[in-house]
Amino acid sequence: MEIITSKAALTEHINALIESKKVIGFVPTMGALHDGHLQLVKRCVSENDVCVVSVFVNPTQFNDKHDLEVYPRNVEADAQKLAAVGCAILFSPTPEEMYTEEERNTTFEFDFGGLDKVMEGKQRPGHFNGVVQVVSKLFKLVRPTRAYFGEKDFQQLAIIRRMVDLMNFEIEIVGCPIVREESGLALSSRNALLSEAERKTAAKIHAVLAESVQFLSQTSLEELRSAVVNAIDATDGLKTEYYAIVDGKSLRELDNWNQSDDIVGCITVHCGNVRLIDNIRYK
């Protein structure tokens, strides 16, 4: 596996691959890799000639400097995991390599069509501007045929699909199912910040979501939303930030089950000092 830290060296490698007519697959990550990431990489390896993975903690998508500082980082361990599952190129640049000072200090403008005004976007202003900024840069560098994203970050996936359409990238966006621990807790790099006791507590999030699916036929949407929030907040150590039941494409919050044939419940919960996201499909 090649480990590359500069845009120039990456471009040289990509040019050679394209000249050789290799099909490139790409998995963008912020590192602290877990089995959820590795499932994306394994699928990428199996469906393309070459798998490229980026490990880059992107500063422009953090509106909380403390969150950026404590975000887990371990590039050496990440490299070992990636080599073991067949990744061909690891791109791990510094912020200075990826951005000019002006880019780091200027909000990236993008027409989100309202996708950034709800859920994570509402709670974290500017977050998705940074996501689109970095992913569009990486797409231009890697020039993949396919790019792989986890469905745990459901809103991000919807925004990436819009970005591909608006920026005319000829890239297939592949959404991959959430990978969970045996307890049901969605795998996340942030789980590394949880104590063992908190990990057990956090498993309640998925347990409540999974149970809620059983009550669709007999409960109104608003009643179900309230029941999920109340059940999670009744657990010591958990506090719901938001729970939105939305149309899976527009992310518009719904009032009843008949408004859409594509319905997803998206939640963010604080477990101690750690902010966790998850979702469940209802339709």
Please identify which of the residues 34, 37, 127, 206 carries the catalytic annotation: 37
Catalytic residue check, 270: no
In DSSP terms, 150 is beta-bridged to 176
What is the 8-class DSSP label of residue 78? H
Whose tokens are 């919807």? That residue is: 158
**Residue 34 — φ and ψ, nearest 5°?**
-125, -175
**Amino acid, single-letter form, for residue 208:** V
Whole-number Å distance between alpha carbons of 235 and 200: 11
Sign of the alpha-carbon dihedral angle for 195, 197, 200, 203? negative
* Residue 262 · residue 248 · CB < 8 Å: yes
CB distance 159 to 132 below 8 Å: yes
DSSP one-letter code for 180? B
Greatest pairwise CA separation for the chain in angstroms: 59
Cα 218 to chain centroid distance, Å, stands at: 32
Q: Which helix (H) or strand (E) holds 160?
A: helix 154-166
Beta-bridged to residue 52, according to DSSP, are 26, 89
Residue 9: Cβ-neighbour burial (10 angstroms; 0-12, 13-18, 19+): middle
CB 188 within 8 Å of CB 152? yes
Give residue 197's region: left, alpha or beta (phi > 0; psi -120 to 50).
alpha
Which residues participate in catalysis according to the annotation? 37
